[in-house]
C-alpha cells in the first residue's frame, strides 16, 4: 500500500465527471487499499478517487473509526430531511463552509468484489456520502457552501 498525493483545489482533475468502474481489476483493488491508507494518514472522514488524481467513480467514507465503507459506482437512491453543518475538504485545506445536505441518505454501490449493496447514513455519515459522491461529478463543497472565516471556528 502507498500514501497517495491529495490533489488540491484548482487542479482540473477535481472538476471532471468520473468514469464508471466496469470491471474490478487488481488495479482497482490496489487503488482502494492506497486510498484507505491515504485517508487514514490525512485523518479525514472521506476520500474520492479524483482527490488522488484518478477519474473513476470510487469513494471511501469512514466517519467512525474502523468502519470504512468502500463505494464503487455509488449513487444516492433516497434522501430525506435537511441539515446545515460545517464542512471542510482534504482538497481545500483551511477552508470551511456551512452546507445544506440531506439529514439521511441511502446509497447504492458495489463493493470490491463487484457485489451491489445499499448503505444508509444520517448526520455526518449522510454529509460524507453526499460530499464524496459530489466529487465524482466534479462538484466541490465550496461550490455551494456559505464560506466561514477559519479564525472564527473551533474545529476539533
Catalytic residues: 132
For the sheet with 83-87, list strands across it: 83-87, 96-101, 146-148
Q: Is-contact 62 68, C-beta < 8 A? A: yes
Using CA atoms, how far apart are residues 53 and 91, in angstroms rounded to an integer? Answer: 11
Q: Is-contact 107 74, C-beta < 8 A? A: yes
* Closest by Cα among 14, 48, 56 to 130: 48
Using CA atoms, how far apart are residues 70 and 35, in angstroms rounded to an integer? Answer: 10
- Reading the block at residue 144, the C-alpha cell is 455551494
* Closest by Cα among 90, 69, 67, 89 to 141: 89
Amino acid at each position: 500500500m502507498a500514501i497517495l498525493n491529495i490533489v488540491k483545489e484548482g487542479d482540473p482533475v477535481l472538476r471532471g465527471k468520473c468514469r464508471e468502474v466496469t470491471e474490478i481489476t487488481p488495479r482497482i483493488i490496489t487503488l482502494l487499499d492506497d486510498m484507505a491508507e491515504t485517508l487514514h494518514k490525512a485523518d479525514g472522514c472521506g476520500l474520492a478517487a479524483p482527490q488522488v488524481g484518478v477519474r473513476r467513480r470510487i469513494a471511501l467514507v469512514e466517519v467512525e473509526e474502523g468502519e470504512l465503507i468502500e463505494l464503487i459506482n455509488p449513487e444516492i437512491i433516497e434522501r430525506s430531511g435537511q441539515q446545515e453543518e460545517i464542512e471542510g475538504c482534504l482538497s481545500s485545506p483551511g477552508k470551511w463552509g456551512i452546507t445544506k445536505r440531506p439529514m439521511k441518505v441511502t446509497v447504492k454501490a458495489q463493493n470490491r468484489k463487484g457485489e451491489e449493496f445499499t448503505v444508509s447514513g444520517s448526520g455526518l455519515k449522510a454529509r460524507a456520502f453526499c460530499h464524496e459522491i459530489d466529487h465524482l461529478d466534479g462538484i466541490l463543497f465550496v461550490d455551494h457552501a456559505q464560506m466561514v472565516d477559519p479564525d472564527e471556528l473551533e474545529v476539533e
